[in-house]
C-alpha cells in the first residue's frame, strides 16, 4: 500500500480504520511517500518501507521531467498548458515523482516477485507510476482508490488534471469512494467502466449512541482549518442561530490548521452568545472518546468540496444527526434519515432551520435510526471485508 504519509504524522486518519482489516487478511507493507512526524502504532505484522520517501530538489525535478517524453506528450495533448506556469509546475512535479516511484517500485517487484498487489491510496502520481509499471509487469495486480482532490478537476487551478487521468485505464481496478466520484471519473475522463468500482470507506462500531441536550444546543464540527472547509460559513450560521433561540449554544470544533488565527478573530467579530470550544487536533481515538463522553445535538459540515467525509461517518456511527451541503458524495451519506443535506447555495437561515428541525426530532429512537443507517452503509467491518474480498479475486 502506497500512502501520502500514513502511518507518519497526523494525516490520512481514515486509514486507521482500514489498515487493521488489511493486516488481518494479507501480508501488508506500507510505503509512505513522506515519513515526517511520529509514527502511529501499527499491528506488529505490518511492515513500513520508507524507500519512496525521497525528496527531490527543484533542479532534479525540472531536469528529469524536461528530459522525459511524457512531458512533451502531455504538452502536445494540452497545448495551452505551456501558458500557465502553475500547470507546468504541477506537470513537472507529477512526472518527476511518478517516474521516480516507477523506478523504486520496479526494484520492489524484482525483490518481492509478481504475486503481489500494488495499492495506491490516491489516484495521483503513484497511479501514473503504476501505468508505467504495468507495461513491464502486466501480470502484477495494481489498484487505486479515488477520493476528492484526485477526482474533481474543478478544485484545481485551471481545472488541470495531468494526462486527463488517462493513465488510470492501465490499472486493474479504480475504487471510488462514492457513486458521484465513479460517475464523474467515467463521464469526465473516459475511465473504463469495467475497472471502476464503488468501494465505500467505513468506520468501526463503538457500541455507543451519543446523548443529546434538552436545555442547551451543542453543535460540533471536525475538519482541518483551510478555505475549502468553509468554517467561516459555520460561524455565520451560528451567528444567525444565536439571534433565533434563547437556549445557550455551544460550538466545538475539532481540528487545527493555517486558518486558525483568522477564524478565532472572525468568531470575536460575529459571535456574542456562543460558547466556542477550539479543541485543536485530536487523534482518531480522541475524537471517538469525545463523542462517547459528551452530549451533542448536531454535527455540521459546510465544505465547498468533499469526497465522502469520514468525519460524518464517525458522527453518524454514534447516532449524531448531521447538517451538510450537497457537494461531492455528501448526499450519499447525509439524507433525511440521518439529518439534512442542503443545496450548496443555501443561506444561513436555511441551515439554521435545518438545525432546528433536527433538534426538534432528537430522541433515542431517532438516533438509533441514524446509527442503523450508518451500520447498513458505512460500517468498516462490512465495507473493508468486501473490499479485501474483491481485490483478492482480481
Closest CA to 150 of 158, 142, 159, 161: 161
Residue 171 structural domain: 2-202+382-392
Query: How many residues would you count in the chain?
Result: 394
Q: How far apart are CA 238 and CA 232, in angstroms?
A: 10
Question: Does 192 map to a domain?
Answer: yes
**295 and 224 inside one domain:** yes
Which ranges in 113-137 belong to alpha helices (H)? Answer: 125-136
**156 and 238 inside one domain:** no
Closest CA to 307 of 176, 193, 202, 219: 176
Question: Does 84 map to a domain?
Answer: yes
**163 and 227 inside one domain:** no
**246 and 371 inside one domain:** yes
Q: How far apart are CA 131 and CA 135, in angstroms?
A: 7
* Contact by Cβ (8 Å): 339, 362: no
**120 and 234 inside one domain:** no
Tell me the C-alpha to C-alpha distance, in Å, between residue 271 and each of 230, 350, 351. Answer: 16, 19, 17
Torsion angles phi and psi, residue 44, rounded to 5: -60, -20
Q: Given this model, what pLDDT does residue 207 score?
A: 84
Q: At what angle do helices 85-112 and 125-136 cross, to 10 degrees?
A: 50
**195 and 222 inside one domain:** no
Q: How far apart are CA 40 and CA 50, in angstroms?
A: 14
**174 and 41 inside one domain:** yes
Specify which residues 280 forms β-bridges with.
254
Question: Does 207 map to a domain?
Answer: no
**131 and 249 inside one domain:** no
**105 and 247 inside one domain:** no
Give the 3-state secondary structure of 260-321: HHHHHHHHHHHCCCCEEEEEECCCHHHHHHHHHHCCCCEEEECCCCCCCCHHHHHHHHCCCC
Q: How far apart are CA 56 and CA 185, in angstroms?
A: 30
Structural domain tally of the chain? Answer: 2
Q: How far apart are CA 300 and CA 312, in angstroms?
A: 9
**267 and 294 inside one domain:** yes
Give the 3-state secondary structure of 23-41: HHHCCCEEEECCCCCCECC
Q: How far apart are CA 114 and CA 119, in angstroms?
A: 14
Q: Given this model, what pLDDT does residue 62 score?
A: 85
Torsion angles phi and psi, residue 52, rounded to 5: -85, -10
Q: How far apart are CA 37 and CA 33, in angstroms?
A: 12
Q: Given this model, what pLDDT does residue 58 score?
A: 83
Question: Does 133 map to a domain?
Answer: yes
Question: Does 76 map to a domain?
Answer: yes
Closest CA to 53 of 19, 104, 96: 104
Closest CA to 162 of 178, 144, 149: 149
Q: What single DSSP character describes residue 82?
A: G
Question: Does 208 map to a domain?
Answer: no
**The pTM is what?**
0.94
Q: How far apart are CA 166 and CA 187, in angstroms?
A: 12
Domain containing residue 152: CATH number: 3.40.50.2000
Question: Does 212 map to a domain?
Answer: no
Question: Does 146 map to a domain?
Answer: yes
Grid coordinates in use for 260? Answer: 486558525
**266 and 296 inside one domain:** yes
Q: What single DSSP character describes residue 230?
A: -
Residue with cell 460561524: 235
**192 and 293 inside one domain:** no
Mind listing the pLDDT tens digit of every residue in the chain (394 residues)? 999 999 999 889 889 999 999 999 999 999 999 999 999 999 999 999 999 998 888 888 888 889 999 999 999 999 999 999 999 999 999 999 999 999 999 999 999 999 999 999 999 999 999 999 999 999 999 999 999 999 999 999 999 999 999 999 999 999 999 999 999 999 999 999 999 999 999 999 988 899 999 899 999 999 999 999 999 999 999 999 999 999 999 999 999 999 999 999 999 999 999 999 999 999 888 999 999 999 999 999 999 999 999 999 999 999 999 999 999 999 999 999 999 999 999 999 999 999 999 999 999 999 999 999 999 999 999 999 999 999 999 9
Q: What single DSSP character describes residue 157?
A: G
Grid coordinates in use for 173? Answer: 481496478
Amino acid at each position: 500500500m502506497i500512502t501520502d504519509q500514513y502511518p507518519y504524522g497526523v494525516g490520512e486518519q481514515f486509514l486507521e480504520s482500514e489498515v487493521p482489516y488489511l493486516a488481518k487478511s494479507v501480508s501488508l507493507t506500507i510505503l509512505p511517500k513522506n515519513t515526517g512526524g511520529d509514527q502511529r502504532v501499527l499491528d506488529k505484522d505490518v511492515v513500513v518501507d520508507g524507500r519512496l520517501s525521497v525528496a527531490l530538489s527543484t533542479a532534479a525535478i525540472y531536469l528529469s521531467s524536461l528530459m522525459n517524453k511524457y512531458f512533451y506528450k502531455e504538452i502536445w495533448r494540452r497545448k495551452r498548458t505551456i501558458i500557465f506556469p502553475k500547470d507546468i509546475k504541477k506537470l513537472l512535479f507529477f512526472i518527476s515523482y511518478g517516474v521516480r516511484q516507477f523506478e523504486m517500485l520496479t526494484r520492489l517487484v524484482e525483490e518481492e516477485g509478481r504475486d503481489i498487489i500494488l495499492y495506491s491510496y490516491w489516484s495521483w502520481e503513484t497511479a501514473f507510476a503504476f501505468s508505467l509499471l504495468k507495461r513491464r509487469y502486466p501480470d502484477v495486480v495494481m489498484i487505486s482508490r479515488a477520493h476528492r482532490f484526485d477526482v474533481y478537476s474543478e478544485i484545481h487551478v485551471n481545472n488541470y488534471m495531468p494526462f486527463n487521468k488517462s493513465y488510470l485505464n492501465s490499472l486493474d481496478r479504480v475504487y471510488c469512494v462514492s457513486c458521484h466520484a465513479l460517475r464523474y471519473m467515467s463521464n469526465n475522463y473516459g475511465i473504463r467502466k469495467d475497472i471502476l468500482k464503488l468501494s465505500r470507506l467505513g468506520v468501526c462500531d463503538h457500541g455507543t449512541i451519543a446523548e443529546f441536550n434538552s436545555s442547551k444546543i451543542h453543535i460540533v464540527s471536525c475538519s482541518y482549518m483551510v478555505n475549502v472547509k468553509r468554517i467561516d460559513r459555520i460561524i455565520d450560521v451560528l451567528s444567525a442561530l444565536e439571534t433565533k433561540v434563547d437556549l445557550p449554544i455551544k460550538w466545538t470544533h475539532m481540528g487545527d490548521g493555517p486558518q486558525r488565527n483568522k477564524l478565532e478573530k472572525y468568531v470575536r467579530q460575529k459571535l456574542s452568545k456562543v460558547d466556542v470550544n477550539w479543541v485543536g487536533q485530536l487523534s482518531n481515538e480522541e475524537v471517538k472518546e469525545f463523542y462517547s463522553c459528551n452530549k451533542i445535538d448536531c454535527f455540521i459540515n459546510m465544505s465547498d468540496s468533499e469526497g465522502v467525509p469520514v468525519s460524518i461517518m464517525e458522527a453518524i456511527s454514534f447516532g449524531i444527526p448531521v447538517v451538510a451541503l450537497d457537494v461531492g458524495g455528501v448526499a450519499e451519506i447525509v439524507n433525511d434519515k440521518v439529518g439534512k443535506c442542503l443545496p450548496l447555495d443555501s443561506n444561513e437561515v436555511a441551515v439554521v432551520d435545518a438545525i432546528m428541525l433536527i433538534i426538534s426530532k432528537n430522541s433515542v429512537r431517532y438516533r438509533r435510526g441514524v446509527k442503523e443507517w450508518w451500520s447498513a452503509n458505512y460500517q468498516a467491518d462490512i465495507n473493508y471485508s468486501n473490499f479485501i474480498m474483491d481485490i483478492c479475486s482480481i
